[in-house]
Amino acid sequence: MSPRLVRIGLGLWFCAIVLFLLFPLVFLIPLSFNESEILSFPPTTWSLRWYRVLFLDTSWSNALWLSVKIGVLVTILSLFIGTASALAIVRHRLPGAGLLYGLSIAPLIVPSIVIALGMFMLFARLQWLESLTTLVFAHTVVAVPYVIVVVSAALRNLDETIERAARVLGADPWRTFLLVTLPALRPAILAGAMFAFFASFDDLVITLFVSGAMETLPLRIWNDLNLRLDPTVAAASCVMVAMSMIGLGIAEFARSAGLRRLRMENTDG
């Protein structure tokens, strides 16, 4: 086979995979712009009606607002916990650092239904269900590992002599962290923040178990499916997809910008 044919073949294969991955969106996006009250495909008349409902109907807008609020709090909390953990694991040569790292990213591997069940039982015993704090804590558990993974990778790539240089030139450990380490980690922290936000924003399983009567956006969609199912669901989904795409786009951009900078430092100009 000629290289040209191979290239065309691979290109087609790639397109097929992307289509497969985006298949649900192919349905959702047109549905969300459908004028009709029932979820019918393909749509006959186009309108923004369901987006209006999404932002004006208080049950929907409250859910969206709650999700954003939880997401932001989870992100802030995860950044503090995750960055500090990465520093401890990578820079301070803790005994058993490898094991600690494995444990701290375990929530990425353990099925979320198991985590959710565990939390439900724990919080039920503590009578701690149905509060914003509970949800924030619960989501933070699954969000922190993303920050740890991304930040500790960046920290491993960061030449420690840069921090030593700062110390010997007069910066105490705290100023070294603020003025040298943190700026170098900024792209990784931004990427980690995006991952953490969407770990919370997208979560349904854990929320189902511990949220009580509080309704996040995914939960609102879920509840709607059980009740009546109107195209607002599709509109809400599209908003989530758009937010995810923008957020993960930023994260990916930050990550690759960080890598590019590291590469430039490691080659002589």
Partner 1 sequence: MHPAFAPARTFSETIGAPISFQAIGKRYGGVPALHEFSLDIAAGEFVTFLGPSGSGKTTALNILAGFIEPSAGDVLIDGVSITRLPTEKRNVGMVFQSYSLFPHMDVRDNVAFPLRMRGVPKAERHARAEQALAMVRLAGYGDRKPQELSGGQRQRVACARAVVFEPRVLLMDEPLGALDLKLREAMQDEIREVQRRIGCTVIYVTHDQGEALTMSDRIVVMNEGRIEQIGTPAAIYDNPSNAFVAQFVGETNFLTAALARGRLTFAGVDAPAPARLPEGWRGRMALRPEHFTRVVAETGGAPTLSGRIDDIAFHGGSYRYVVETEKAGRVIVQEQRRHGSDGPVVGAPVTLKFSLERAAFLEG
CB of 107 to partner 1, least distance (A): 32
CB of 172 to partner 1, least distance (A): 5
Ramachandran angles phi, psi of 134, nearest 5°: -55, -50
DSSP-assigned beta bridge partners for residue 34: 46
Our CB check for partner 1 shows the closer of 163 and 215 to be 163
Q: Which of 162, 225, 242, 245 binds partner 1 (CB under 8 A)?
A: 162
Our CB check for partner 1 shows the closer of 163 and 203 to be 163
| Residue 228 within binding range of partner 1, rule CB under 8 A | no
DSSP annotation of 46 reads: B
Site for partner 1 in 163-192 (CB under 8 A): 164-172, 175, 179-180, 183-184, 186
CB of 90 to partner 1, least distance (A): 17
CB of 171 to partner 1, least distance (A): 5
Residue 246 has which token pair? 């923008």
DSSP-assigned beta bridge partners for residue 46: 34
The whole-angstrom separation of Cα 83 and Cα 81 is 6
Q: Do 136 and 77 meet the contact criterion of CB atoms below 8 Å apart?
A: yes
Under rule CB under 8 A, how many of the chain's residues touch partner 1? 23
CB of 257 to partner 1, least distance (A): 12
Interface stretch with partner 1, choices 2-10, 14-22, 206-214, 259-267 (CB under 8 A): 259-267
The number of CA neighbours under 13 Å toward the Cβ of 101 is 19
- For 34, the 3-state DSSP assignment is strand
Which alpha helices (DSSP H) does 57-131 contain, by range? 58-91, 97-104, 112-126
Our CB check for partner 1 shows the closer of 69 and 186 to be 186
The whole-angstrom separation of Cα 35 and Cα 48 is 8
Binding positions for partner 1, rule: CB under 8 A: 159, 161-162, 164-172, 175, 179-180, 183-184, 186, 261, 264-265, 268-269
